[in-house]
Structure 1
Amino acid sequence: MILMEDIIREGHPTLRTRAQEIPFPLTEEDQKLASDMLEYLINSQNPEIAQKYGLRSGIGLAANQVNSLKRMFALHLENDNGELLSFVAINPKIVSHSVEKTYIPTGEGCLSVDRQVPGYVPRYARITAKFFTIDGEEKKLRLKGLPAIAFQHELDHLNGIMFYDHINKENPFAPVPNSLPLDGE
């Protein structure tokens, strides 16, 4: 089971390194990593388990964050319709995106960052993503709102990019051109 001490923090070189594509079929080690990452997110959102093991709640976790340079991440959150999106994306890509941007008015957080980083993080409001499941099945998803933001945040990790790299250094709360803030935040 992944615990907070298994999640590396900002400053660690793996967080700034591009992860490598994963060949199929997955090795047992890769399958275990995928299921452990998803299990962490599920556990972190369960108040009893989170308290027992001292887990910070998360909706996404990339392999880089557990010091593994493999192109995979897990997401576990609800979309705008209250449907649960819970999956591991292997070799994920964004194949198209909206011109319109969005951002979370309160800023983004990250399990690898132990501090508040104020500022708007511009993201595409809508994306079409492609990835492979653990079984090697190709999936194509259209995402908007928080799931789209989370997918982009985790994909950035696989490319060695931290969310705060997108914040305007001169004025963290500068208006984001052609954007609407994410509702309900």
Structure 2
Amino acid sequence: MITMEDIIRDGHPTLRKIAAEVPLPASDEDKRILQELLEYVKNSQNPEIAEKYKLRPGIGLAAPQINVSKRMIAVHIQDEKAAYSYALFNPKIVSHSVEKSYLQSGEGCLSVDEAIPGFVPRHARVTIKGINENGEEVKLRLKGLPAICFQHEIDHLNGIMFYDYINKEDPFKPIEGAIVIER
């Protein structure tokens, strides 16, 4: 089981590396890691389990955040329409909108202990492809908070942190034409 002690913090070199593709079919070890990533995110959202194991709540987790430089992510999130609970090998954004969106409240990260205020511009809509733990291709068309979450986690696979996108001069400068997402 992954705990907060397993999550590496900002400044660790693995967080800035481009993660390696996972050879498919996935090994039993890679499948176990993928399952544990999803288990952490689910458990972190359960108040009793989170308190018992001192888990910080999250909606996504990428393998580099547990110092495994491989292309694996897990997302467990609910928006007003549906639940998105996915653990994927080698996820990638195959298409995206020109239109941008951002979270009104800004983004956070389990690897970043302090709040870094500012708007993080993201694509408003994305299509993601990846391989699930059963070796099946998954294709997701996302918008809103799920789209932002998947982009955040895929960025971890490319050594990018959310705050890299924040306007350094004016962190709360409105992003022209972007959809504002309340959370």
2:118 match = 119
Is the CA contact (8 Å cut-off) linking 1:80 and 1:145 kept in structure 2?
A: no
**Deviation digits for residues 21-77 of structure 1 (CA, Å, limit 9, x no counterpart):** 011111111011001000001110000000001000000000000000110100000
- Using the alignment, how far apart are the partners of 1:109 and 1:100 within structure 2? 22
Give, as a single letter, the amino acid of the residue that structure 1 aligns with 2:29.
E
Contact 1:125–1:144 at 8 Å: present in 2 too?
yes
For 1:178, what is the secondary structure of its paired residue? coil
Q: Report whether the alignment pairs 1:75 with 2:75.
A: yes
1-side partners of 2:117 and 2:73: how far apart? 25
Within 2, Cα distance between the matches of 1:25 and 1:79?
A: 31
Shift in Å, 1:134 = 1.2
The answer for the alignment partner of 2:178 in structure 1 is 179
8 Å CA contact 1:4–1:55 kept in 2: the answer is yes
Corresponding position of 2:152: 153
Task: Output one character per residue of 1:99-153: Cα deviation in whole Å (capped at 9) or x when no partner.
Answer: 1101011110000000000000000111111111112111111000000000000
CA RMSD in angstroms comes to: 0.8
SS at match of 1:157: helix
Aligned length: 183
Q: List structure 1 runs of 4+ shifted beyond 3 angstroms.
A: none
Contact residue 92 and residue 131 of structure 1 kept, 8 A: yes
- Cα deviation for residue 177 of structure 1 reads 2.2
Query: Cα offset for 1:179?
Result: 0.4
DSSP 3-state at the match of 1:76: strand
Q: How does 1:1-185 map to 2 (within 5 A)?
A: 1-81=1-81, 83-182=82-181, 184-185=182-183
The residue identity in structure 1 corresponding to 2:39 is E
How much has 1:79 moved relative to structure 2? Answer: 2.9
In the alignment, structure 2 segments of 5+ residues that lack a partner are: none
Q: Do the aligned partners of 1:122 and 1:166 also contact (CA within 8 Å) in 2?
A: yes
| Bigger shift: residues 71-80 or 155-164 | 71-80
Cα distance, 1:87 vs structure 2: 1.0
Q: Is the 8 A contact 1:119 1:167 kept in 2?
A: yes
Of stretches 141-150 and 23-32 in structure 1, the one that deviates more from structure 2 is: 23-32
Give the Cα–Cα distance (whole angstroms) in 1 for the partners of residues 153 and 180 of structure 2.
Answer: 20
**In structure 2, the residue corresponding to 1:181 is in which secondary structure?**
strand
Give the Cα separation in 1 of the matches to 2:42 and 2:162: 22
Q: In 2, distance between residues paired with 1:42 and 1:169?
A: 33
Q: Percent identity?
A: 61
- Measured in 2, the distance between the counterparts of 1:84 and 1:175 equals 29
Q: In structure 2, what is the Cα distance between the partners aligned to 1:52 and 1:111? A: 18
